[in-house]
Structure 1
Amino acid sequence: MAQSPRLFAGITGFQWDEGNSDKNWRRHHVTQAEAEQVFFNRPLVVAPDPRHSSREVRHFALGRSNDGRHLTIVFARRGDLLRVISARPMSRRERKEYAQAEEA
């Protein structure tokens, strides 16, 4: 996994689907603000998500909210916006990968 600075070039904000936002809160207790914070905190680990990219190119990001929650964010770039598709706590495996990035 690696950071992808070019992926974020020209991004001006976020796009939210009300259904996804509600789902992220109901299932995982992750707010829109927390999900967005991940993209501004370091380290941020980003990788392609080919298994879920049949209709559009998707990526996932591993990072932390301002409160230190370790979150996984699945997103797609739509023009100059990032569309958050899913936001949830990191799995055990993802936390291990993120810890390795923190040490690097």
Structure 2
Amino acid sequence: MIKIKTLGFDWDAGNRSKCRKHGLAPLEIEGFFKQESVYIAPDFKHSQKEIRYLAAGRSEKGRPMFVAFALRKNNGDLLIRPISARYMHKKEARKHEEESS
């Protein structure tokens, strides 16, 4: 598991609409990263131009979810740039619970 210390989020119309397409609002995604039990791993398969990461865990409301993101610097601050986010399917949530316990 990777721990990341950031100072905020990098949002624009593109990543907002991509996340909303899956039923997630930016505030819910930001809250997700405040949770203690978020598992983060590099996503080498999708890291052509920049290193991307996959995060798995539960939202503040307790719903299991995935977030694909990159880290960006803006004026020296490290920001999380969500690329896509969605709730886990039941099988994915069950597998995540088994692997994280």
Which stretches in structure 1 are left out of the alignment for 5+ residues? none
Give the length in aligned residue pairs: 97
Corresponding residue for 1:30?
24
What SS does the corresponding residue of 1:78 show, helix, strand or coil?
Answer: strand
Moved >6 Å (runs of 4+): none
- Kindly provide the CA deviation profile for residues 12-39 of structure 1, in whole angstroms up to 9, marking residues without a partner as x: 00101211211211x2110001111111
Alpha-carbon RMSD across the aligned residues, in angstroms, is 1.6
Alignment map for 1:12-91 (pairs within 5 Å): 12-25=7-20, 27-79=21-73, 80-91=78-89
| Deviation, structure 1 residue 101 | 4.7
| Deviation, structure 1 residue 90 | 1.7
Looking at secondary structure, tell me which structure has more helix per residue. Answer: 1
Structure 1 counterpart of 2:19, one-letter code: N
| Deviation, structure 1 residue 98 | 2.3
Percentage identity across paired residues of the two chains: 36
Corresponding residue for 1:95?
93
| Deviation, structure 1 residue 102 | 4.2
Distance between the aligned counterparts of 2:7 and 2:89, measured in 1? 29
TM-score, with length taken from structure 2: 0.85
Alpha-carbon distance change, 87 to 43 in structure 1, aligned in 2, over 3 angstroms: same
Which stretches in structure 2 are left out of the alignment for 5+ residues? none
